[in-house]
Amino acid sequence: MLDDRAKLLLKTLVERYIAEGQPVGSRTLSRASGLELSPATIRNVMSDLEGLGLIASPHTSAGRIPTARGYRLFVDTMLTAQREQFAAPSLAPDQPQKVIANAANLLSNLSQFVGVVMAPRRSSAFRQIEFLRLSDRRLLVIIVSPEGDVQNRVIFPEVDYSQSQLVEASNYINAHFAGLSIEQVRDRLQSEMEQLRGEIAALMQAAVQVSSEVLTQAQDEVVIAGERNLLSVSDFSSDMSHLRRAFELFEQKAQLLRLLDVSSKAEGVRIFIGGESQVVPFDDLSIVTASYEVDGQVVGTLGVIGPTRMPYERMIQIVDITSKLVTNALSHRT
C-alpha cells in the first residue's frame, strides 16, 4: 500500500508525463509536487514505485514513465474528473445511422483522437414495409424499423406488378404483420401461404428475404472516425509499427466489437489501458468507453481510442457527455 507521499509523487509523475510526453526526473518531480524533499529522497520513492511495477525507466533517460499498472492505479484512485461545459452540439434525432455517425465524429473532434460507436443492435421487427414500382420487374422495398431506421433494397420479381397491387400488398402486410419479428412473420407465412393471394404471398416472401438480409448485414456495425488524428500523435508517428498495429485494429473491427460489447454490460465510463490485459492488445493504446441507451435500455457503446498517454479526465468528460447526447437523440424522436 502506498503512503500519501508516494501517491502524490506517482500522481504528479503521471500528470507530467501525460502533459509533456517526456520521462520525468526527480528534480522535475520535486518542483511539480510541491513537496520539500531532497532529490535523494525522491529517487528512493521512485525506486520503490519502480519495484512495484508502477513506473519504469527507459534506457535512454534517467527519468521515469508510468507503466500500464501505474496508469491503472492513477485512473482508479487518483483521477478526479471535474465536469466542464463543452461546446458540444446536440445530436439531431434524425435517422439512427446519422446520429451514430455524428456521435463518432463528435468524439473524434472533441478528443482529437479516434471516435468509435457500436451502432444499436437493430430490432428484428419492422414497423412498416412499402413497395415502389421503379420499372418493369424492378421494385424498391422500403423497410422502416420500430426505431425509425429506414432501409431500401431493389428487387427483381418474376412478375410485373402494378403499383395498385403493390399498395394493396403493403397495406395487407402492414395491417397483419407489423410489429412481429422476421422469424414470426416467416413462421406465419408458411402456415398461411395457401390463404394468401398469389401476389401478396410472393411479395411477403420477398419482403421477408430483404428484411433478413438487412438485419444480417447491419448487426454489430462499428462506426469509426478520426483515425488520421493518430498521425499527429508523437507516440505513434515516431514508430510506424505502433501506427500500423492501431490501423489493423480499426480495419479488423472484430476485436473492437468484443471490447465494446464488454463495455455495454457495465454502468458509467470504463477505461481500458493497453498492456494490462488481453482486452486491449497493444501497450500503447487506451480506450475510454460508455454505454448509451434508447428509452432506458442499453443498446450500444461508444468511446475514444488514443495513446496510453492521454488526458484521461477530459476523455472521461467527452465520452460521458456524448453518451448522454446519443441517448437523448435516440430516445426522444419526434
- Give the three cell numbers for residue 157: 420479381
* Average pLDDT of the residues in 161-178: 86
The answer to whether residue 53 scores a pLDDT higher than 90 is yes
Q: At which residue does the C-alpha cell 437523448 appear? A: 328
Number of H helices, E strands in the chain: 12, 10
- Give the three cell numbers for residue 137: 420487374
Q: Long-range contacts for 54-60 (Cβ within 8 Å, ≥24 apart)?
A: 54/10, 55/10, 55/13, 57/23, 58/23
User: What is the predicted pLDDT for the residue at 28?
Assistant: 87
Q: What is the 3-state secondary structure (H, E, C) of 151-200?
A: EEEEECCCCCCCHHHHHHHHHHHHHHHCCCEHHHHHHHHHHHHHHCCHHH
Strands (E), the chain: 55-56, 65-66, 114-118, 128-135, 138-144, 150-155, 222-225, 269-273, 285-294, 297-307
Band of pLDDT at residue 151, cut at 50, 70 and 90? confident
Mapped onto helix, strand or coil, the DSSP state of residue 150 is strand
151 has which bridge partners? 143
CA distance 57 to 138: 68
CA distance 299 to 199: 37
* Average pLDDT of the residues in 115-138: 81
User: What is the predicted pLDDT for the residue at 302?
Assistant: 93
Q: Name which residue leads in pLDDT, 240 or 40.
A: 40
- Give the three cell numbers for residue 279: 482486452
CA distance 119 to 100: 6
Q: How far apart are the first and last CA of the chain?
A: 54
Selection from 89-98, 145-154, 238-247, 307-316 with the highest mean pLDDT: 307-316
Do 29 and 55 touch, CB atoms closer than 8 A? no
- Give the three cell numbers for residue 112: 482529437
User: What is the predicted pLDDT for the residue at 17?
Assistant: 92
pTM reported for the whole predicted model: 0.67
Position 91, amino acid = L
Nearest to 284 by CA among 321, 325, 315, 241: 241
The DSSP secondary structure of 265-290, one letter per residue, reads TSSSEEEEETTSSSSS--TTEEEEEE
Q: 135 φ, ψ to 5°?
A: -165, -170
Do 322 and 106 touch, CB atoms closer than 8 A? yes
Band of pLDDT at residue 334, cut at 50, 70 and 90? very low
The answer to whether residue 200 scores a pLDDT higher than 80 is no
Q: Using a pLDDT cut of 90, give the percent of the chain over it.
A: 21
